[in-house]
Amino acid sequence: MTLVAEDDERRVESAVEQIKRESGGLRGELAADLDDSGSGVSATSEQLLKFHGVYAQDDRDQRRALASEGRDLAHIFMARVAIPGGVLTSEQWLTLDDLAVSMADGSIRLTTRQAVQFHGVMKSSLRDLTRALHARTMTTFGACGDVVRNTVMCPDLAWEAEGAGVELARDIASRFKPRTTSHLEIFVDGERAASVTDEHDFYGDTYLPRKFKVAVASHHENCVDVLAQDLGFVPVVHHEHGPGYSAFVGGGLGRSYAQSDTFARLADPLAFVTTSQVSDLIALVVRTYRDRGDRTNRRRARLKYVVADMGIEAFRREIASSWPTPLVAAVPVTFGPADDHLGWRERGEQFELGVRVGAGRVRDDGRGRLRSALAALASSLAVGFVITPQQDLVITHIEESQREDVERILSDHGVRAAGDLAPLERQALACPALPTCGQALAESERVLERVVAELQVVAENAGVGRRPLQLRMTGCPNGCARPAVAEIGIVGRTKSTYDVYVGGGPRGDRLARLYREKVRLDEVDVALAPLVAAWGRDALAGESFGDFVTRRDLA
């Protein structure tokens, strides 16, 4: 193992750090493992696969039966496609649709970071999948791993300032994609490049201590939860320097039950930057994280712990010491409630329609044929698509003459209109959890519909069934559906229980607080009923649930 000095003590780097250092630019033995006839890969290759956008998983529903028969796990893979800002053409969508049917489990999974996931992919299909994506200028490379991840962007920025937000998201994705050619060699071309480009200096040979998340918010609402990011940007106008962004640093929501010094944290104001300075600031923060992040304990390796341990003033001074000009203070911002971007909107001479995607799962099932409906729209009309941070989908570039056609196609396929959804259903988020996620402690996506229905009854009984209410559910405390900033967060604690959090802000500017521990799934609605009833009875006019329980100190 490689030893590093910290606070005059010698500590051992984590095994993952050694794997990265010895990987030869994220190559390792990946090519040989993919060529092998077995259904899985080695533990070392599992770690390197993440940088290439692939997670090694197994069907956990089959574990017990297979174990009783003395058989190996049912190995499958999840492939994540990085979609900067969530923006897709109709041709790209049709490629995703085809891959979902031919190489995955028949569904397209939309994530809260505006990426796309394919579940149930077999090892033998991984290369064919990545090649098909590459042909449509899409990639899984860098969608996972210890690098700058997919850039999240408010869908409104696809239209404001003539699409400058989209260009910014794509510029960030381009600049911070690893330089190593290993992905093309292993997954696309099949041949090693004659010369291997040196990696970015802000990554080095061991990349970052953990993942790094960037988001660009709108100036008027916070659907991206910008304060929950490692580095977030909000459009502002500085009184002296003009248009630009206020940057916020050190947010993050994941934590570990096994380690008490892990926690959720909202980002602090860092600086004001112009558009041309955004990438330079990201690079400087990434370098600081590269050098100061914990490489001995991955549970405490995120940037938020660097900022928390140093303090924001010391961290800001460190950034300022390497900034070419005096660092300008961030412009204060105030958010409105997060927009779900559902329903019809006029965009210049065109229109867009936000469509609800329950738990982000685009598929055909007994509740409707959403996947077929979207494929029909993509193949018959020159529309575009934007994945939202709420796991939904906005259909864009709709001509006025096409509105009836769009509504007819969706209706014929059983897709419900946004106006037919209760507010609780409109805003509910869930992570995939079981049976595919190896981190899941409990169910999430597969029980979300049930939880929403039960809580909707509670809301109706309290007379607040038509008020907006934000619910987010995860199968573990890693926080993929961002429950730590939700008005109601339900987080898997054990196989059969959940911790219930309340009081997050609908504006994404406040952390939720623990309300009840180890609540059984069938008792979640009972546990929340007194709070919802009090909200219906005692709230101020227009007061949200999160604001109400915080004002009344009910958690």
Kindly report the CATH number assigned to the domain that includes residue 476: 3.30.413.10
Nearest to 387 by CA among 40, 190, 96, 99: 96
**pLDDT value of position 211:** 98
**pLDDT value of position 158:** 81
Q: CA-CA distance, 555 to 547, in Å (whole number)?
A: 12
Flag whether pLDDT at 519 surpasses 50: yes
- Confidence band of 542 (pLDDT split at 50, 70, 90): very high
- 408 and 497 in a single domain? The answer is no
- 545 and 464 in a single domain? The answer is yes
**pLDDT value of position 193:** 55
- Look up the pTM and report it: 0.95
Do β-strands 116-121 and 364-365 pair in parallel, antiparallel, or remain unpaired?
A: unpaired
- Confidence band of 8 (pLDDT split at 50, 70, 90): very low
- 454 and 506 in a single domain? The answer is yes
Q: Torsions phi, psi of 502, nearest 5?
A: -140, 160
- 416 and 434 in a single domain? The answer is no
Q: What is the pLDDT of residues 362-406, one digit of tens each?
A: 999 988 999 999 999 999 999 999 999 999 999 999 999 999 999
- 499 and 394 in a single domain? The answer is no
- 470 and 534 in a single domain? The answer is yes
Cβ-contact 78, 118 below 8 angstroms: yes
Q: How far is CA 160 from CA 150, 155, 235, 437, in A?
A: 21, 9, 11, 37
Flag whether pLDDT at 1 surpasses 50: no
Nearest to 242 by CA among 215, 277, 218, 266: 277
**pLDDT value of position 197:** 64
Which residue has tokens 């805003």?
Answer: 427
- Lookup: tokens for 331: 């412009």
- Determine the average pLDDT of the residues in 67-89: 97
Per DSSP, the three-state class of 358 is helix
State the DSSP string of 384-426: EEEE-TTS-EEEEEE-GGGHHHHHHHHHHTTPPPGGGS-HHHH
Give, for 380, the enclosing helix (H) or strand (E). helix 370-380
The rounded Cα 340 to chain-centroid distance in angstroms is 15
Residue 380 neighbours by CB under 8 Å, 6+ apart? 405, 409
**pLDDT value of position 192:** 61
The 3-state DSSP composition of the chain as helix, strand, coil percent (nearest 5) reads 40, 20, 40
Which residue has tokens 């248009």?
Answer: 243
- Determine the average pLDDT of the residues in 222-231: 98
Nearest to 374 by CA among 399, 351, 357, 350: 357
- Confidence band of 3 (pLDDT split at 50, 70, 90): very low
528 belongs to a structural domain:
yes
- Confidence band of 2 (pLDDT split at 50, 70, 90): very low
In whole angstroms, how large is the CA radius of gyration of the chain? Answer: 23
- 441 and 393 in a single domain? The answer is no
**pLDDT value of position 165:** 82
- 545 and 431 in a single domain? The answer is yes
- Confidence band of 273 (pLDDT split at 50, 70, 90): very high
Could you tell me the residue range of the domain that residue 454 belongs to? Answer: 427-551
**pLDDT value of position 161:** 55
Per DSSP, the three-state class of 129 is helix
H helix count then E strand count, the chain: 17, 24
Domain boundary among the residues 377, 401, 421 is at 421
Domain boundary among the residues 394, 421, 448 is at 421
44 belongs to a structural domain:
no
106 belongs to a structural domain:
no
471 belongs to a structural domain:
yes
Flag whether pLDDT at 6 surpasses 60: no
- Determine the average pLDDT of the residues in 248-272: 97
Residue 101 neighbours by CB under 8 Å, 6+ apart? none
Q: What is the pLDDT of residues 42-55, one digit of tens each?
A: 999 999 999 999 99
- 383 and 489 in a single domain? The answer is no
Flag whether pLDDT at 335 surpasses 80: yes
**pLDDT value of position 129:** 98
- Determine the average pLDDT of the residues in 427-431: 97
- Confidence band of 39 (pLDDT split at 50, 70, 90): very high
Q: What is the pLDDT of residues 166-176, one digit of tens each?
A: 899 999 999 99
Domain boundary among the residues 375, 404, 421 is at 421
Give, for 28, the enclosing helix (H) or strand (E). none
Cα torsion angle, 457, 461, 462, 467, sign: positive
108 belongs to a structural domain:
no
| Domain total of the chain | 2
Q: What is the pLDDT of residues 157-207, one digit of tens each?
A: 987 655 678 899 999 999 999 999 999 999 998 766 545 568 999 999 999
State the DSSP string of 499-547: EEEE---TTS-S--EEEEEEEEGGGHHHHHHHHHHHHHHHPPTT--HHH
User: Tell me, what CATH number does 394's domain have?
Assistant: 3.90.480.10
**DSSP E strand stretches across 413-493:** 429-430, 471-474, 488-492
384 belongs to a structural domain:
yes
For residue 302, what is the DSSP state?
A: S
Q: What is the pLDDT of residues 460-482, one digit of tens each?
A: 999 999 999 999 999 999 999 99
136-155: string of b/e by CB count within 10 Å (b at 16+)?
bebbbbbbbbbbbbbbbbbb
- 393 and 460 in a single domain? The answer is no
**pLDDT value of position 196:** 56
**pLDDT value of position 532:** 98
Give, for 549, the enclosing helix (H) or strand (E). helix 545-551
Flag whether pLDDT at 307 surpasses 60: yes
- 431 and 417 in a single domain? The answer is no
Report the mean per-residue pLDDT for the chain: 95
Tell me the one-letter amino acid at 494.
T
369 belongs to a structural domain:
yes
Q: How far is CA 189 from CA 127, 184, 194, 434, in A?
A: 10, 6, 13, 34
Q: Torsions phi, psi of 89, nearest 5?
A: -85, 170
Q: CA-CA distance, 200 to 212, in Å (whole number)?
A: 15
- State percent of the chain over pLDDT 90: 93
Residue 49 neighbours by CB under 8 Å, 6+ apart? 30, 41, 55, 56, 77
Q: How far is CA 183 from CA 18, 197, 200, 476, in A?
A: 20, 13, 16, 30
Which residue has tokens 């597969």?
Answer: 446
Q: CA-CA distance, 535 to 463, in Å (whole number)?
A: 9
249 belongs to a structural domain:
no
- Determine the average pLDDT of the residues in 317-344: 97
Residue 132 neighbours by CB under 8 Å, 6+ apart? 95, 98, 99
For residue 188, what is the DSSP state?
A: I
**pLDDT value of position 215:** 98
**pLDDT value of position 28:** 97
- 369 and 465 in a single domain? The answer is no
Q: CA-CA distance, 331 to 273, in Å (whole number)?
A: 10
- Lookup: tokens for 441: 């402690």
